[in-house]
Amino acid sequence: MSSEHDRYKVLVAGDSILGYGLCAKLTNDSLRYPRKLAEKALASDWPEAEWTKFMSVSIDGEITTMELDLELHGPWVWELYNVMEPRDYYRRFDAALLAVNPRNLDSFTHIPEFIDAIHAHSGRMIPIVLVGDSSLEMTEEEVKKIVELGEQLDLPVRLANIVTGENIDQVFRELAVDIQVDKEAGMIDS
């Protein structure tokens, strides 16, 4: 394995508490209360909302180490539009994770808007995954609602648990593989 690695930016949008919790737990597996940490951090006008995760993936037997720079999208981003065009904002991303909470109607209604903005402004198709939080002990109807949204938007749907960390690494690893495949196909630069 080479000591060099490529850097890629991942937009984390949708339900901010879930998105924050996923990123915080991914980068600190011993974190016990990611939801409370997210609520506290997101109470700030400009929360610390960026994380870095090094991840090794294997494609066709070749191991590649990647640096994933995770950036949470929240209300503070609208301030950036005063100095940065939306086109310039979205073009920085190589993939997106859209966090959805069936108990937060806003997270459902804004997901299609995020996808439209990503496609309109990024200038290319990027890997996108829809993620729900299994730690919520969702009802069958709530899980069905997430799956139906994924089907409607033609997105893969994953459930991850921000309390135990179950499936969080796998979700980001799948995105990393998709990014690497896009890179090898010449769809993105490193």
Ordered structural domains, the chain, with CATH = 6-184 (3.40.50.300)
Residue 190, pLDDT above cutoff 80: no
pLDDT for 123: 83
Residue 83, pLDDT above cutoff 90: no
**pLDDT tens digits for range 121-169:** 888 889 999 999 999 888 999 999 999 999 999 999 999 999 999 999 9
Residue 59, pLDDT above cutoff 90: no
Please tell me the distance from the alpha carbon of residue 183 to that of residue 190, in angstroms, as a whole number. 7
pLDDT for 19: 93
Q: In this structure, what are the phi and psi dihedrals at residue 108, rounded to the nearest 5 degrees?
A: -75, -45
Element at 97 (helix H, strand E): strand 95-100
Indicate the pLDDT class of residue 2, thresholds 50, 70 and 90: very low
Indicate the pLDDT class of residue 10, thresholds 50, 70 and 90: very high
- Choose between 43 and 66: higher pLDDT: 66
* Mean pLDDT, range 84-93, rounded to an integer: 87
Task: Identify the residue whose tokens are 């896009």.
Answer: 182
Alpha-carbon dihedral angle through residues 67, 97, 179, 7, given to the nearest 10 degrees: -20
pLDDT for 76: 65
Which of 55-64, 74-83, 88-97, 98-107 is least confident? 74-83
- Model pTM? 0.89
For the chain, the first-to-last Cα distance in angstroms comes to: 17
